[in-house]
Structure 1
Amino acid sequence: MNQDEVDGLVPRWREAGLAPSLIASLELSKRMSRVNGLFEQAVKAELAELGLTYAEFDVLAALARTGPPHRLKPSELARALFLTSGGTSNVLQRLAAAGYVEREDDKGDARSRWVQLTAEGLRVAHLALEGSSRAHTEAMAGVPESTLRHAADALRELTLALGRRVR
């Protein structure tokens, strides 16, 4: 069996007397972090060509996924992207300055505003999504689809189990 960087940590965890179930959990979390980091690195390279940060891409992609008129409330964006309201506000300010989003009052609720993609924002969102797709495809080249499907399904089960416990 091939070995990765995480396999190099396992002997130290065993020497420290950690339980096998804890070692498996640590291996899983380290590998998930590593996989996420590798995906982010690949996607960030594509986004750099568009002058976007990963957070900006996330917001543009979320708005693009909503369908016309491509708008959400800032609180909806924060929830959907697991961002703080302050973090969302900073990203929205940068995207508005770049001309990719505009804010509009919610006529049904004077306390609320909409964030909507501009035509240029939608164009850049589509380019960024294409770049992200390309990065993911290239990163997973050579990995059998059945392996990807199995891993995605197993991670869903773990996410659901952890989500019930951590709330």
Structure 2
Amino acid sequence: MASSLIAGLELSKRLTRIGMLFERALKAELAEFGLTYAEFDVLAALSRTGPEYRMKPSELARSLMLTSGGTSNVLQRLGAAGYVERSADDGDGRSRWVRLTPEGLKVATVALEAAVRSNREVLDGVPEPAVRQAADALREVLRSVRRHTR
């Protein structure tokens, strides 16, 4: 029992540390584009939605684990930069869509390439099989954690 508790603490600490290293490297890359981490997250999420590149703000907030106020602030900044636009939802007058503009899609694509570069830099020297094994194991951990925290 004590061994599994220690392993859980080790996992938590290592995940936090690795996450901080990835985030620091990505933030440095994003600074070149004048984007914050949250702005990048929104652009990346929208770019993954397929040919329409749109979502509802509530969907964005839920998928990115942001507050509705935080999402609104990020969308305002991205809108002012010309990267997203809002439009009415014809099916629900109370709701709106957020869509990437062509310029927003360009910035999202370049920022995603920068994210890949920053991840590569952080993982430089780590054998590919170790990365794959860790990613697979963490997927299983996340799946179990989600089941027990719903």
TM-score, length-scaled by structure 1: 0.86
CA positional deviation for 1:139: 1.2
Q: What corresponds to 1:30 in structure 2?
A: 13
Q: How far, CA to CA, are the matches of 1:64 and 1:145 in structure 2?
A: 27
Q: How far, CA to CA, are the matches of 2:147 and 2:45 in structure 1?
A: 25
Q: Where is the strand percentage greater, Structure 1 or Structure 2? A: 2
Higher relative contact order (CA 8 A, sep 6+): 2
Structure 1 unaligned residues grouped into runs of 5+: 1-17
Q: How does 1:1-167 map to 2 (within 5 A)?
A: 19-167=2-150
Deviates more, 1:138-147 or 1:29-38: 138-147
Runs of 4+ displaced beyond 4 Å: none
Between the aligned residues of both structures, percent identity stands at 68
Q: How far, CA to CA, are the matches of 1:98 and 1:65 in structure 2?
A: 20
The structure with more radius of gyration: 1
Q: How far, CA to CA, are the matches of 1:84 and 1:105 in structure 2?
A: 21
CA positional deviation for 1:19: 2.4
Q: How far, CA to CA, are the matches of 2:53 and 2:147 in structure 1?
A: 31
Which residue identity lines up with residue 102 of structure 1 in the other structure? Answer: E
Structure 2 unaligned residues grouped into runs of 5+: none
Deviations 1:43-62 (A, max 9, x none): 11100000000000000001
Tell me the secondary structure at the aligned position of residue 112 of structure 1: strand
Deviations 1:29-52 (A, max 9, x none): 000000011000111110000000
CA positional deviation for 1:109: 1.1
CA positional deviation for 1:20: 2.4
CA positional deviation for 1:137: 1.1
Query: RMSD over aligned Cα, in angstroms?
Result: 1.2
